[in-house]
Structure 1
């Protein structure tokens, strides 16, 4: 069942590959699970980009997201967000940063107003945004801010695996000091609630990776798994959540092990991202859990070195669009009883 509303796809970094993968995703609109979407971007620059990379994509400027459904079969609907200066592929310009942020703001406004089904964000170049005065750590933190400062977690998902890193973009040396029982419990609660609401899993199963090799071997290889991780698992069980661990991360991600859980909670960034990117490098999706609206994103960066070459791979964006469409349809069914 398709979502009743189109998806709002943001501009991302205009000097990166975001525009190219959006054009290519529209060309694959006839494939299963791709629901109508519109892009918040500059129509003229997208038309020029299509010609530059040699793809035939009619671009249609729209005045409102409601127009996207009828246009989508024949043209890529674009809700105009003007850029301040011309785009040079591979060379981000802080002058265009306000347009990048405006596209995110506008997408969130439309979804929260019930005029779009989900926010799908193209990759941003954080350093360029910082140069323009952006004060948030990245997309996820900014979306949480727009939602009123809610607690969120990042999930990476592909058909074979879902993972949630409890700590994210911090030095590995800082992880033991940052990791707390409360942080793990919060991530587990948000994840379990989202798996029920957004993924239709009535009784989600969480596997929790240990921090240390062999999950600490009873405290002989570090005390964190005994003193921090295990109490968090006990607290989640008291909430009625089906949770296992702490488990040795080196045996948690093979095919047989993955059949035993729906999502793995991991203690740090690479513990979560290495297995999913190994399993499905081009098809992984970044999902923000805990927001009052749906947000997905490709699981890759701006790829400035590929910008304007026509070589960018749109598979992760397609996966993000498909997942957002499925989640939006599930929400619509639930809302309609």
Structure 2
């Protein structure tokens, strides 16, 4: 039996660029040299993308009885759920596409739980479409956590120069500040430490952002959030031997981290962490959900409705997400 990992690739929202980035990425022979990729989605949507891109590939519809290690370059194996109409419009919010994106992910989680696949790599979904399709979640991360019964998890963004893990993600800024507390900050610091230690980094250096400008500057800015919500968590982690520093002003911390002073940054809220990663290069960023019993990576961009169906999408983030899924997946 092949020891290469089987990577389940969910198609995401088929009205967006998901089918295109998958077809483009699976024209890379290197992906097949390192893994067995299985797309979980709608075969006809992949066929439409392949025709649009004039890709020299065939789409093979498969089901649960298919040997997932029997993939071969030039043939894209699709675990076909057949949920969408062939004429689904590009670039439009669709309840049908939102529901289908949820079902692709739910099926991938089932396959991972059954050890049929070794990791999940997700193409982007559209949150408005997801909600209109009847699934009220902020995004992939929360669906994965609920369907795997995971309580302590976090979103980690990874790029060649910077890694960021988040205390809060898809909530408004006021809610993010209210939700931040010493226990949650401590758990995210621990997740960062464990994730990097498991990846082979001995005593990873962790930098923690403040909430306010200048990390509050000893109470000059804000209402003591750093002292109340962050410092107790850092002190607890330090007592346990974790190499952590902070709270530090976010503007200088991110500069120092990409320079190499830190292995990972703990961000307090969504834009605090996402902004620097995307400035450094959207095409190289990867989203990894840590704390799950399943390896999951994803592109670090959205459905790009404005360019969907035009054949011009950049697949480099998907290729990087696949590379990291392959690297993190356990050997069969």
* TM-score exceeds 0.5: yes
TM-score by length of 1: 0.91
Out of 159-168 and 285-294, give the one that drifted further. 159-168
Distance of 1:162 and 1:231 partners within structure 2: 23
Q: Which residue of 2 aligns with 1:289?
A: 290
Out of 41-50 and 308-317, give the one that drifted further. 41-50
Displacement of 1:93: 2.5
Displacement of 1:195: 2.0
Q: Which residue of 1 aligns with 2:269?
A: 268
Alpha carbons 1:230, 1:246 under 8 Å: kept: yes
Out of 83-92 and 251-260, give the one that drifted further. 251-260
Out of 247-256 and 6-15, give the one that drifted further. 247-256
Question: In structure 1, the residue corresponding to 2:254 is in which secondary structure?
Answer: coil
Distance 1:187-1:286 versus aligned 2 partners, 3 A rule: same
Displacement of 1:79: 1.1
Q: Which residue of 1 aligns with 2:213?
A: 213
Q: Which residue of 2 aligns with 1:13?
A: 13
Q: Which residue of 2 aligns with 1:189?
A: 190
Q: What CA deviation, in whole Å up to 9, does each residue of 1:272-303 have, x standing for no partner?
A: 11111111211100100110010111001111
Out of 261-270 and 291-300, give the one that drifted further. 261-270
- Does 2:129 align with 1:124? no
Alpha carbons 2:27, 2:74 under 8 Å: kept: no
Alpha carbons 1:195, 1:204 under 8 Å: kept: yes
Q: Which residue of 2 aligns with 1:100?
A: 101
Task: Give the 5 Å matches for 1:246-261.
Answer: 246-254=247-255, 258-261=259-262
Displacement of 1:63: 2.9
Alpha carbons 2:37, 2:71 under 8 Å: kept: no
Distance 1:65-1:277 versus aligned 2 partners, 3 A rule: farther
Alpha carbons 2:68, 2:116 under 8 Å: kept: no
Distance of 1:41 and 1:32 partners within structure 2: 19
Distance 1:134-1:178 versus aligned 2 partners, 3 A rule: same
Q: Which residue of 2 aligns with 1:61?
A: 61
Distance 1:180-1:311 versus aligned 2 partners, 3 A rule: same
Out of 11-20 and 258-267, give the one that drifted further. 258-267
Task: Give the 5 Å matches for 1:1-337.
Answer: 4-30=4-30, 35-64=35-64, 67-86=67-86, 87-197=88-198, 199-222=199-222, 223-254=224-255, 258-328=259-329, 331-332=330-331
Distance 1:176-1:123 versus aligned 2 partners, 3 A rule: same
Alpha carbons 1:155, 1:164 under 8 Å: kept: yes
Q: What CA deviation, in whole Å up to 9, does each residue of 1:176-230 have, x standing for no partner?
A: 3332111211211222222223x22232221101112222222222322223211
Runs of 4+ in 1 over 6 A off after TM superposition: none
Question: In structure 2, the residue corresponding to 1:304 is in which secondary structure?
Answer: coil
Question: In structure 1, the residue corresponding to 2:104 is in which secondary structure?
Answer: helix
Distance of 1:177 and 1:256 partners within structure 2: 27
Distance 1:96-1:272 versus aligned 2 partners, 3 A rule: closer
Distance of 2:84 and 2:226 partners within structure 1: 51
Out of 34-43 and 293-302, give the one that drifted further. 34-43
Q: What CA deviation, in whole Å up to 9, does each residue of 1:289-334 have, x standing for no partner?
A: 1100101110011111111100111111111100010001xx33xx
Distance 1:266-1:112 versus aligned 2 partners, 3 A rule: same
Displacement of 1:14: 0.8
Displacement of 1:98: 3.5
Distance 1:6-1:147 versus aligned 2 partners, 3 A rule: same
Distance of 1:65 and 1:229 partners within structure 2: 50
Alpha carbons 1:34, 1:318 under 8 Å: kept: no
Distance 1:263-1:97 versus aligned 2 partners, 3 A rule: same
Distance 1:218-1:65 versus aligned 2 partners, 3 A rule: farther
Distance of 1:115 and 1:176 partners within structure 2: 40
Q: Which runs of 5+ in 2 are unaligned?
A: none
Out of 295-304 and 243-252, give the one that drifted further. 243-252
Displacement of 1:34: 5.3
TM-score by length of 2: 0.92
Alpha carbons 1:189, 1:236 under 8 Å: kept: yes
